[in-house]
Amino acid sequence: MENPFFEEWRTPFGAPPLDRVKPEHFAPAYDRALAEHKAEIAAIAAAPASFDGTIVGLEKSGRLLARVDAVFFALSSAHTNDALQAIEVEMAPRSAAHWNSLYLNADLFARIDTLYQQRASLHLDPESLRVLERYHLDFVRQGAMLKGQARTRLDEIGQRLASLATQFSQNVLGDEQDYVRPVREDQMEGAPDFLREAAAATAKERGLDAPFAVTLSRSSVEPFLQFSANRELREQLFKAWVARGDNDNDRNNRAVIAEILKLRAEKAHLLGYKSFADYKLADSMAGTPAQARALLEKVWAPARRRASEERDDLSALIAEEGGNFKLAPWDWRYYAEKLRARRYDFDEAELKPYFELNRMIEAAFYTAGKLFGLSFIERRDIPVYHPDVRVWEVRRGDEAIGLFYGDYFARPEKQGGAWMSSLRDQERLTGNVLPLITNTCNFVKSEPALLSFDDARTLFHEFGHALHGLLSQVKYLRLSGTNVARDFVELPSQLYEHWLEERQVLERFARHYQTDAPLPKQLLEKLLAARNFNQGFATVEFLASAFVDMDFHALEQPEAIDAKALEAATLARIGMPEEIATRHAAPHFGHVFAGDGYSAGYYSYMWAEVLDADGFGAFKSDPFDPLAAGRLYEHIYSAGGSRDYAQAYRAFRGRDPEVKALLEDRGLETA
């Protein structure tokens, strides 16, 4: 059988032939890739310690495995099926065992440690010194200094955690795939045209004998919660949405969470930390759970006060309309939209015709052009895995710097949420290797595709991540693009969101999809005036999830864990308003449990927001200030992980960040 992974990819940019990859290609590809990497590591571990032989050798190893992994992640996350899910279940522990064997290879670590101890006399350039230090730290944090039974147990834990993460994400996806709510015409009261069109498209796509339908994709369910006058329907949709991963079926994630937390705590103990949170944050800008909590608590008090004021205002509106019920979580978005329309004389339905998807993609590209000199040329000769996926060649001046893939629409076979990933990372060790970067979103597919302002912000956010990968200019893969601390990685993405609200961007690209008329100045003024409306709610729902994450992972001896009770205890401790739900309930909190990327790290969005709110101050006099943009490119977007993160921020901004900017940006400083 021909296998694309065993061929030289003669596609433009050496892009993976995604249209030719089939599920049956992965088993032999993984067999060969793992065997090749194992042999490469054995050779490195047997050779004398040297920077070129050991560190450069590690950098050059595993290239076939990286190829296979990147393509598999793209398909299993955005275009999955039963065959791919079965491979995922099989490969998760096998891959974990492979990487554990690398980090626990005593001969290999001995060589890295020898170089690390001699680093002052090796006369390395700053980036080479940095990559040596990062490799040494990686190995130590993965147990390289453990002995005997502790090493064996750490390996077992790693494999089991990989299996549990796969189970968690597949459980959530299963609940999302199974749920589609048919909606009758008489249940569409209050729905604006864009919502009716999107719901009709969903019903048609799912083959339903109903005029409308809604799924549990955030971009599908949230508009119903925002506009539907049918309170019973809002309650049903909300309860189904928050119950993903927590239903009375074989996909309930409560037991999965309990085992994950217990194993993570055991891993932390083996590595010498009192909790998993202590372990995770030791290699972060925050440094300790106490530092992360201090930030969350500083923002929580004014956010909760503001949310309480918002609750009272919404309750008063319900009473004014004669509603004989108490404000509930499934009412908040609906009455907040009504109140916003009253206070600022506009609603989301007025905005949507001006935020058409293609225009917003153009807006993101335009901003990148103004800041960094980028241009984007759509390519239709690059293989893709689904017809929805679009590809652009990215150029800086006259030079091609990579490819950008955009996969924007929700599909049943696609995980919920939005993310950036890469099919290949930038590096210069083996030549000028250009990055292949993907943005995946879950917007409702309709014609035209009209976005909410939050959807447009999501597009800018993920494109900020994409630029972090596309603009990377480093030598080593280990330091490339988004290979940075978790509480730094959100800075480029969250900072980029600010440009969506800039007048010259909105005036140029927020144009009516039918008439091409620009967003009326009066409506633009209302949009900008209302930017902090409902900010107490938004901040509280995020912070609550961050507190739950931190409390879960601060457990030192997590025995007989009841995840539901633990979550409830955290919410009671912080005084969570009962009218607001956490942004992510634990059973579908994929950031934290579908892998450990954001485990004990969900706070990092808020940490990075301190940086981005403060950092955007560099552009207050001119949103496209070329000097500030030059520093931003040099020290943040192109530098990857090649330098200390706090030093990188200071080099860009000229000083350390201040929390005051975040409170001002969210309109909470006077709360």
468-481: per-residue pLDDT in tens? 999 999 999 999 99
- Given a cut of 90, whether residue 116 has pLDDT beyond it is yes
- Closest to 542 (Cα-Cα) out of 334, 339, 307, 276: 307
- Given a cut of 60, whether residue 346 has pLDDT beyond it is yes
| CA gap 566, 257 in Å, rounded | 11
Which domains does the chain possess? 4-145 (1.20.1050.40), 179-242 (no CATH), 278-352+533-665 (1.10.1370.10), 353-500 (1.10.1370.40)
Residues 152-158, mean pLDDT to the nearest whole number: 95
Residues 107-129, mean pLDDT to the nearest whole number: 98
Amino acid residing at 220:
S
pLDDT digits (tens, 9 = 90+) for 249-277: 999 999 999 999 999 999 999 999 999 99
Residues 142-152, mean pLDDT to the nearest whole number: 95
- Any idea which of 274-283, 523-532, 644-653 has the lowest mean pLDDT? 523-532
Answer whether the bond into residue 448 is a cis peptide, omega within 30°. Answer: yes
The residue behind tokens 């993920």 is 462
| CA gap 98, 167 in Å, rounded | 19
Residues 487-507, mean pLDDT to the nearest whole number: 95
DSSP 511: B
Instruction: Give percent above pLDDT 70 in the chain.
Output: 100
- Given a cut of 60, whether residue 7 has pLDDT beyond it is yes
**CB-based contacts of 638, cutoff 8 Å, min separation 6:** 471, 472, 473, 474
- Better pLDDT: 180 or 529: 180
The residues annotated with a catalytic role in the active site are: 462
Long-range contacts of 188-192 (CB under 8 A, 24+ apart): 188/212, 188/228, 189/228, 189/229, 189/230, 190/227, 190/228, 190/229, 190/230, 190/334, 191/224, 191/227, 191/228, 192/227, 192/347, 192/348, 192/349, 192/352
- pLDDT value at position 670? 54
- pLDDT value at position 75? 98
Residues 178-191, mean pLDDT to the nearest whole number: 94
| CA gap 424, 426 in Å, rounded | 7
How many residues are listed for the chain in this entry? 671
For the beta sheet containing 436-443, the strands, ordered from the edge strand earlier in sequence to the opposite edge, are: 374-379, 390-396, 399-409, 436-443, 419-424
- Given a cut of 90, whether residue 54 has pLDDT beyond it is yes
pLDDT digits (tens, 9 = 90+) for 440-479: 999 999 889 999 999 999 999 999 999 999 999 999 999 9
User: In which band, very low, low, confident or very high, does the pLDDT at 671 lie, cut at 50, 70 and 90?
Assistant: very low
- pLDDT value at position 374? 98
Residue 142 tokens read as 């993965």
User: In which band, very low, low, confident or very high, does the pLDDT at 1 lie, cut at 50, 70 and 90?
Assistant: confident
| CA gap 521, 47 in Å, rounded | 68
Strand partners, 421: 438
User: In which band, very low, low, confident or very high, does the pLDDT at 665 lie, cut at 50, 70 and 90?
Assistant: confident
- Closest to 491 (Cα-Cα) out of 293, 282, 294, 284: 284
Residues 585-613, mean pLDDT to the nearest whole number: 94
The residue behind tokens 């490119």 is 633
What three-state secondary structure class fits 433? Answer: strand
- Given a cut of 60, whether residue 293 has pLDDT beyond it is yes
Q: What is the pTM of this model?
A: 0.92
- pLDDT value at position 432? 96
Residue 212 tokens read as 């409308």
Instruction: Give percent above pLDDT 90 in the chain.
Output: 91
Residues 74-84, mean pLDDT to the nearest whole number: 97
Strand partners, 212: 183
User: In which band, very low, low, confident or very high, does the pLDDT at 53 lie, cut at 50, 70 and 90?
Assistant: very high
- pLDDT value at position 345? 87
- pLDDT value at position 349? 83
